[in-house]
Amino acid sequence: MTTFDPTRRAVFVTGGASGLGEATALYFVNQGHPVVVLDRDAAKCDSIAARLGDRGAVICGSVLDDADVQRAIDAARTFGELRWVIACAGGGEVGGRIVGKGGVPHDMGIFQRTLDLNVTGSFNTLRLAASAMSENNPDEDGERGAAVLITSGAGFEGQIGQIAYGSAKSALIGMTLIAARDLSSVGIRVNAIAPGVMNTSAWEQGPPELKTALEATVPFPKRLGEPEEFARLAEHLLSNRYMNGHVARLDGALRFAPK
């Protein structure tokens, strides 16, 4: 049986300088893993680098840039084998309705940028990381690595005004099973997480009453999800070797209304 030292099993987290990505990067470092973060926010990159210390590395760049992604992969391999990848980079812009007031059509630039950041960026991360992981020595199941994509409840029940974001997250749901089947030939598993409303630092900039109202819509438990709960689910999907091609909803049974 092949065994692996967790301190030599590098974890690559995109979008790891803020939000769920930041919480995930810090969680895995605390579990003894070396972590490499790729993020495009320079100021936040400096902050997460200080918190990771000598057990991590931070590459300030874009998931849409092959060279930036490759630099992060190369950095991860300096710690040992790159085994786990969590593609947290994503987000969106306020796009509005397909046809707005006065018959104005949805901004095409917003739609394309949202697809690029979420779908193209996640695929770029997956394809380059999977190529690197395919060179790893297999374990007793033939596994060489595992990846977690990040979609959203909006990919299942996108609300009015979320056409760009919901479409992008829906594409990642569809990508998960295809990628899992495709990468089975090189021993790499692919799963995804679809978070609902999570208690990230972004809520500090919003009105408290909005947060309270959202908490009331969650069936149980009636609160926002905690970032560590997200990180622990990512860890389970990465470490449970029979989990493959699965999209796990993390939302307290919340289902979004049309608007």
Catalytic residues: 165
Query: In which element (H, E) is residue 248 found?
Result: strand 247-250
Q: Residue 34: left if φ>0, alpha if ψ -120 to 50, beta else—which one?
A: beta
- Distance of alpha carbon 145 from alpha carbon 46, whole angstroms: 28
- Distance of alpha carbon 88 from alpha carbon 65, whole angstroms: 16
Residue 24: name the closest of 253, 166, 225, 204 by CA: 225
- The token pair at 78 is 């300096």
List beta partners, residue 81: 9
DSSP string, 62-87: -TT-HHHHHHHHHHHHTTSEEEEEEE
Residue 166: name the closest of 174, 158, 176 by CA: 158
Dihedral, CA of residue 209, residue 211, residue 212 and residue 214, to nearest 10: 120
- Distance of alpha carbon 110 from alpha carbon 165, whole angstroms: 10
